Amino acid sequence: MIGGGKAGNIISPNPNTIAVSEAFKVDLTSLMMKNFIPAICAVVVTILLSTMLSKKQGVQVTENDLEQKEDKNLPSFIQAVAGPVVVVILLAFRPEQR
């Protein structure tokens, strides 16, 4: 899953990819297609690393190792979605390319 996420970050039109395409005056779609091979490499390396690490034996976690905490100080729904909504709005105001 992590490898797929990393590959998606490499190919997807995230703000970094958009900024690079605008700075170098390259079409966003062609830049995303050129990132396909690095994305495949990221997936392969992640699979290899996860396979090696999954064979490694570790110490078992016991009940005494877990913390019991009852009071959860979590943000409200509005507070949790405020940041992503602001980012989407700012990306929507992106200046048009000429």
Tens digit of each residue's pLDDT (9 = 90 or more) over 19-47 = 888 888 888 888 888 878 888 888 888 88
**3-class DSSP state of 37:** helix
Asked whether residue 37 is assigned to any structural domain, the reply reads: yes
Asked whether residue 68 is assigned to any structural domain, the reply reads: no
Asked whether residue 89 is assigned to any structural domain, the reply reads: no
Would you place residue 55 in the very low, low, confident or very high pLDDT band (cuts 50, 70, 90)?
confident
Asked whether residue 88 is assigned to any structural domain, the reply reads: no
Q: Which amino acid is at 19?
A: A
Long-range contacts, stretch 78-82, CB < 8 angstroms, 24+ apart: none
Range of the domain at 13: 1-54
**8 A C-beta contact, residue 6 and residue 35:** no
pLDDT at 1 over 60: no
More confident residue, 89 or 10: 89
Would you place residue 5 in the very low, low, confident or very high pLDDT band (cuts 50, 70, 90)?
low
**8 A C-beta contact, residue 40 and residue 8:** no
- Give the 3-state secondary structure percentages of the chain, helix then strand then coil, rounded to 5: 65, 0, 35
**3-class DSSP state of 96:** coil
Question: What's the CA gap between 49 and 43, in Å, rounded?
Answer: 10
Asked whether residue 62 is assigned to any structural domain, the reply reads: no
More confident residue, 81 or 31: 81
Query: How many domains are contained in the chain?
Result: 1
Whole-number pLDDT of residue 8: 63
Averaged over 81-87, what is the pLDDT?
91
**8 A C-beta contact, residue 13 and residue 32:** yes
